[in-house]
Structure 1
Amino acid sequence: MKSKTVKGNWSLRTKKFGSSSVLFICIISFLSGFFGSSLFSNKPQNWQDVEFGLRPRLRFVESRNEATAYNLLSAGESGDDSITLIPFQILSWKPRALYFPKFASSEQCESIIDIAKVDLQPSILALREGETKENTEGVRTSSGMFISASEDTTGILDVIEEKIARATMIPRVHGEAFNILCYEVGQRYISHYDAFNPAEYGPQKSQRVASFLLYLSDVEEGGETMFPFENGLNMDGTYGYEDCIGLKVKPRQGDGLLFYSLFHNGTIDPTSLHGSCPVIKGVKWVATKWIRDQEQDE
């Protein structure tokens, strides 16, 4: 009885051992074949190789170009077959303001300054009903000049204008001529809107949708572009339009600032109120591009 029991148990253990051994050998064989084929095959690896934890071949990485890396679509007649990378930082959603570091080179900025220096005039204001040059004195104290990209024989403004169009996705023909501005020590532009309220300025053929500021120089102290109503702050009626408060953007040569003056429904964004703080030390140079909702005449 005992011998039968022992014999029965031994037989069962033998069967279990045999099944386990076969399964183990199969797993080893499968893994050896899988990894062996990956290591010694001449066939290029793809993304599945990386997903399974295998090291991609260097030659595969080197052979990748922009088209294969991003799997670009076929562009339309007016589109591009390549990717344009323009780094930006969202500074605010109210107003919609974006910051573009190193948008232009130092050489480009210095060239634009040289162009503007020879034709600077005192900056002027668009006057509302009841306003005069005398009673608005001190509102805008900079000097400036206007120049279109087509008038620039160096071609630099043409390059900048094209890049602005790509950053904003608003065609170049919607932009006004560049307004190149210079702020000396003590000069400023108190808070204002770039869009024109028809109730104050009369009917408008087109409206300024957005503004792009390209800072052409560093400013040692002061000269910030400020948004006092950012995120709805200071809108209780006590703000005097002269205080330099709220969101402030320090001018740095080559950097760009984009902000939108209108909501998507075409009404003016009240938080887009902005100004230029007084320059305390240094000189502020900036190239402003106002962009409208309709094409502009040359």
Structure 2
Amino acid sequence: MRGKGKLGSNWWSFGSKLGFPAVFLLCSFFFLAGFFGSTLLSQKEDVSGVRPTSRVLESVDEGGEFDPLPHGQTGENSITSIPYQILSWKPRALYFPNFATIEQCQGIVKMAKAHLAPSSLALREGETAENTKGIRTSSGMFISASEDKTGILDLIEEKIARATMIPRSHGEAFNVLRYEIGQRYNSHYDAFNPAEYGPQKSQRIASFLLYLSDVEEGGETMFPFENGWSMDLNYDYRKCVGLRVKPRRGDGLLFFSLFPNGTIDATSLHGSCPVMTGEKWVATKWIRDEIQDD
């Protein structure tokens, strides 16, 4: 107790000598020093010294912290998260990392290998297989989910329907493609312009590309007119320019060929850059505005 009393008397004596204004300033200094010191310490705890920013959209796992709402007769009782990144608004292009597993990709490649044939083109008026040679040099095959006895394509197709909110019945069969070294697909549209292809019973709204392999060099999916860039009559449709998406096994790419009003989006022109090293495998799902026969 004596020590405390002596210390208190010394502090009081010291405070008396300084005066009230000096004591007030001294206390303010210690308060501010403590405040800024604690702020600096909290910043050091953040990764790379950067303070975390608020997330605009938070991913939600199935069975996570959010309670599902009561749903309609065709709804579901769980919350599903499918992460994606918007790559472009012109055209509308979305990237889905890890959309499929390695095992699923390997299974699709295995079932397709024995049935590959040279890829064909939808021909415009006046075009023939001979005068369009070299535009599309890949090999491929078509297979529907109902033909796949492993069930892999059924799972992939269901996930695509969830990601696009377009029913499975509007999708064409999967087109599984292989691009070897030097093979490519010149820039083209997936939608069919009636002025060039004649009247259409239905139109392709969107395309979903599931990359089944990594590509060491080349093989990017490219959008040369992204955001209106280089949109002129002098564009060389063989050039690999504009927005380029590198294939990564298991990742998905969704882009829309039509505007919401049903007209063709000119910026949806796209192609496949030549494979320089390695091999490219991709499964394409074209989605239409009408129900398709299975």
* Distance in 2 (alpha carbons) for counterparts of 1:79 and 1:119: 38
Give the Cα separation in 2 of the matches to 1:155 and 1:68: 27
- Secondary structure class of the residue paired with 1:213: strand
Supply the distance in 2 between the matched residues of 1:110 and 1:258 (Cα, whole angstroms). 21
What is the rounded CA distance, in whole Å, between the counterparts of 2:111 and 2:62 in structure 1? 37
What TM-score, normalized to structure 2?
Answer: 0.78
How many residue pairs get matched? 234
Q: 1:168 Cα deviation (Å)?
A: 0.2
Separation in 1 of the partners of 2:71 and 2:234?
Answer: 52
AA aligned opposite 2:173:
A
Using the TM superposition, give the Cα deviation of residue 77 of structure 1 relative to its aligned residue in structure 2, in angstroms.
Answer: 1.0
Structure 1 segments of 4+ aligned residues over 2 angstroms from their partners: 65-69
Cα deviations by residue, 1:16-60 (Å, 9 ceiling, x for unpaired): xxxxxxxxxxxxxxxxxxxxxxxxxxxxxxxxxxxxxxxxxxxxx
Is residue 2:220 matched to residue 1:224? yes
When residues 66 and 247 of structure 1 are mapped into structure 2, their CA distance, relative to the original with a 3 A threshold, is closer
1:174 corresponds to which of 170, 182, 186: 170
Q: Does residue 199 of structure 2 align to residue 203 of structure 1?
A: yes
1:112-155 C-alpha deviation (Å, 9 max, x unpaired): 00000000000000000110111100000000000000000000
Quote the Cα distance in structure 1 between the aligned partners of 2:273 and 2:189. Answer: 15
Match of 2:122, as an amino acid? A
Within 5 Å, give how 1:236-255 maps onto structure 2: 236-255=232-251
How far 1:73 sits from its partner (Å)?
A: 1.3
Please state whether the residue corresponding to 1:190 is helix, strand or coil: strand
TM-score in terms of structure 1 length? 0.77
| Shift of residue 67, structure 1, vs aligned partner | 6.7
Structure with higher Rg: it is 1
1:53 corresponds in structure 2 to none
The offset of 1:106, in angstroms, is 0.4
Q: Which residue number in structure 1 is paired with residue 278 of structure 2?
A: 282
User: CA shift at 1:237, angstroms?
Assistant: 2.2
Give CA deviations for 1:197-239 in whole Å, capped at 9, x if unaligned: 0000000000000000000000000000000000000103221
1:137 aligns with 2:133: yes
Return the alpha-carbon distance in structure 2 between the equivalents of residues 155 and 285 of structure 1: 19
Equivalent pair of 2:62/2:81 in contact (CA under 8 Å): no
- Please, what is the CA RMSD of the aligned residues? 1.2
Q: What secondary structure, in the 3-state scheme, does the structure 1 residue paired with 2:65 have?
A: helix
State the secondary structure of the residue aligned to 1:69.
coil
Cross-structure match for 1:183: 179
Give the counterpart letter for 1:260 in structure 2. F
**Could you give the per-residue CA deviations for residues 135-182 of structure 1, whole angstroms, max 9, x where no partner exists?**
100000000000000000000000000000000000000000000000
Residues 35-114 of structure 1 correspond to what in structure 2 (within 5 A)?
69-114=65-110
Does the alignment pair 1:128 with 2:124?
Answer: yes
Closer, same or farther: CA 112–200 of 1 in aligned 2, 3 Å: same
